[in-house]
Homo-oligomer: A and B are copies of this chain.
Amino acid sequence: MKIVVDAMGGDYAPDVVVTGAVEAVKEYKAEVILVGDEAKINALLKKNKYSGSEISVVNATEVVEMCDSAATSIRKKRNSSIVVGLNLVKEGKADAFFSAGNTGAAVCGAVLTLGLLPGVERPGIGIVMPTLKGATMIIDVGANITPKPTQLLQYGIMGEVYSRCILNKESPSVGLLNVGEEEAKGTEFVKETHELLSASKVNFIGNVEGKDLFSGKCDVIVCDGFVGNVALKVTESAAEAMQKFLKRHIKSSPVAILGYLLLRRTFKRFKKEIDYSEYGGAPLMGVNGVVIIGHGRSNVKAIKNAIRAAKEEVERNINKKIVEAIGSASAKN
């Protein structure tokens, strides 16, 4: 099995991407194809003292920048690491693709290059969030900001499959993100989605609220990509803001500084628990191929875990299960 890694994608690329790939190869016995500036990548492999055969390099002369427009860059930068990398998957030379670069371009490129799975209307980005009771997947967090209710139903189905196959949950439950728990709450869009989910085979527990992102009330939370994106960014920054607030207070007192020193290991473990880079990237679900989207700020660990996540998706054949689940859902209607 070979996993294509966009060596040029991410705020700290190509350095941390190459290091992450080297670590993943050692730890998870993955085979990786690094796509990007060949000379730079080879130099970094040397710097990492890597000379094995599990990593190969494919040259790509262009880079999609973070600020590039998604659709335009995919059409115009045919030699970018994203396009070259996705083509390797399309041509059957690799099994999965990972990029921590421009999310819009990766999503757009994946759809244009690989197409969608049979029966899937639109792809969705799923994020696995640590909660007080295990992990919850939130889908979609930005691939599709104006979805139809039928597409949210499909996100529920895909999230359920992911939760079962990758997060090892037995009978994953699905909730619909809304402004209140009562059935009558929300916009027409949300109410229609509620009806569809209720009538489906999905283990639907009804509406959930913003607070349930951390409560672990259900295994999958479906929402439109606009709300999901805002919620995700609020979450990320809440943790950071709280640390900064706390630091400011600690600095003002010697007793607090001593307390902080004693708590340092605890803070570290805590940070690790709420750090979703532990889960390794966000799967782009619904495309005809395994595609993992990384956070722009991905560090070595996040890159390594994303490669592991890609490997797991391929090994557990998640896309075949999604096609079956989507097919059986339509068969019912």
Chain A residues within 8 Å of B, Cβ to Cβ: 67, 69, 131-132, 142, 145-146, 177, 179, 182, 184, 186-188, 190, 209-215, 223, 225-227, 229-242, 244-246, 249-250, 253, 255-256, 258-267, 269-270, 273-274
C-alpha gap A186/B230 in the complex (Å): 11
Contacts of A132 in B (CB 8 A): 241, 244-245
Most buried by B among A210, A229, A242: A210
* Interchain Cβ contacts under 8 Å between A and B, 30 examples: A69-B184, A132-B241, A145-B179, A145-B186, A177-B230, A213-B234, A213-B237, A213-B238, A215-B237, A227-B230, A230-B230, A230-B231, A234-B234, A238-B239, A238-B242, A239-B242, A242-B274, A245-B274, A246-B266, A249-B269, A249-B270, A249-B273, A250-B266, A253-B265, A255-B265, A256-B262, A256-B265, A256-B266, A259-B266, A262-B262
C-alpha gap A230/B260 in the complex (Å): 33
Whether the pair B237, A234 counts as a contact (CB closer than 8 A) is no
Contacts of A265 in B (CB 8 A): 253, 255-256
Tell which of B225, B226, B273 touches A245, judged by Cβ atoms closer than 8 Å.
B273
C-alpha gap A24/B293 in the complex (Å): 52
Contacts of A213 in B (CB 8 A): 234, 237-238
Please name 19 further chain A to chain B contacts, defined as beta carbons within 8 Å, in addition to the given A238-B238, A250-B263, sorted by A numbering. Answer: A131-B241, A132-B241, A179-B226, A179-B229, A186-B226, A190-B226, A209-B233, A214-B241, A215-B237, A215-B241, A230-B230, A238-B239, A242-B270, A246-B270, A249-B269, A249-B270, A249-B273, A258-B259, A262-B262
